[in-house]
Amino acid sequence: MTASPHWPITTTLARDLHHFRSPRDLRASFTMKPGDSPRARCELLEMAESSTANAEPLEWPKKDKRRLLHVVYRVGDLDRSIKFYTECFGMKLLRKRDVPEEKYSNAFLGYGPEESHCVMELTYNYGVSSYDIGTGFGNFAITTQDVYKMVEDIKAKGGTVTREPGPVRGGTTVIAFVNDPDGYVFELIQISATPKPLCHVMLKVGDLERAIKFYEKALGMKLFRKGEKPDDKYTLAIMGYPGENETNVLELTYNYDVTEYTKGNAYAQLAIGTDDVYKSGEVVKLVIEELGGEITRQPGPLPGINTKITSFLDPDGWKTVSLCFMNFKPLYSWE
């Protein structure tokens, strides 16, 4: 706010904003000082109280215990996808269900129990055999101890290899790219054994700094690292939760001078666990007011079951669903 000559805001007055813990503390600390105008002080107090009220909910992500639960996307033939993922990628079918009243089936696949691993949720909608992946979805990534062998196995089973195994440009890490039967791109990365081979989900964004700020503030993620690739004209950011800096991360990619992408109708959303979906929803609402996005479902229980969720779009239109850990109990046993 710019003070008028008739209502000056002194340096002392502005400095008061940095010495409060709550609106009540702030108001109690505001005493008139020489040079302060009553009107300017009231205006600044209103602004500060509003800022304080917003600051308290924004602390919640720092206290919340969060992790990536699963990534959801649509496929044209569920049994075909299950066969490909189990035989080519070595995943295990965790559970499968059919929901005829809503005309869809889904399957959860991964490398470990859902209570501790991020997994893939594949959805088949009755009668829909293909989808538009769009230009914004990037890829999934899987780690393996031998990329060459995995690629040979995929070829033997009729899979499509779009980049043969070999070191990354300017480095030594061996990678390859393959497509699943629906055209989703999977990056295969050769590293030593890891208990969580599902490595990352990569999405393209039009403003990387805005996206980083959104996922830090709205979802409590940490920026693990950024990588500038001027020769390839892109920058990437690796984000996730503490303890997951090598696997189960979100990779955001900004391609130089590209600010918009098509979303298609194939990729659906990320699901993230939270201890309190209502507090998490309040944080998301405040961040959306600042950075953009949209609430698509207010916090609350799903009809007929006790699972509490909220869902929203980030500033680039990518969807996230937050689920309450307390009510999220997958119906399967890991063997």
Q: What is the pLDDT of residues 97-141, one digit of tens each?
A: 999 999 999 999 999 999 889 999 999 999 999 999 999 999 999
- Would you say 218 and 284 are in contact if contact means Cβ atoms under 8 Å apart? yes
% of the chain surpassing 70 pLDDT:
79
Looking at 153-157, 239-243, 303-307, which range is the least confident one? 303-307
Cα 193 to chain center, whole Å? Answer: 25
Q: pLDDT-based confidence at 15, cuts 50/70/90?
A: very low
Alpha-carbon distance of 315 to 44, in angstroms, equals 30
pLDDT for 38: 60
DSSP state at residue 102:
G
pLDDT for 306: 80
Alpha-carbon distance of 302 to 244, in angstroms, equals 29
Confirm whether 187 is a catalytic residue.
Answer: yes
Q: 69-327: which CATH architecture?
A: Roll (3.10)
Q: Select which of 114, 187, 244, 282 is catalytic.
A: 187
* Reported pTM: 0.82
Annotated binding site for Zn(2+): 121, 187
Decide if pLDDT at 155 tops 70: yes
What are the residue ranges spanned by the domains of the chain?
Answer: 69-327
Annotated binding site: 121, 187
Average pLDDT, the chain: 86
Q: C-alpha distances in angstroms, 10 versus 30, 52, 119?
A: 13, 20, 55
Nearest to 217 by CA among 62, 323, 63, 321: 62
* Residues 281-295, mean pLDDT to the nearest whole number: 97
* Residues 20-43, mean pLDDT to the nearest whole number: 54
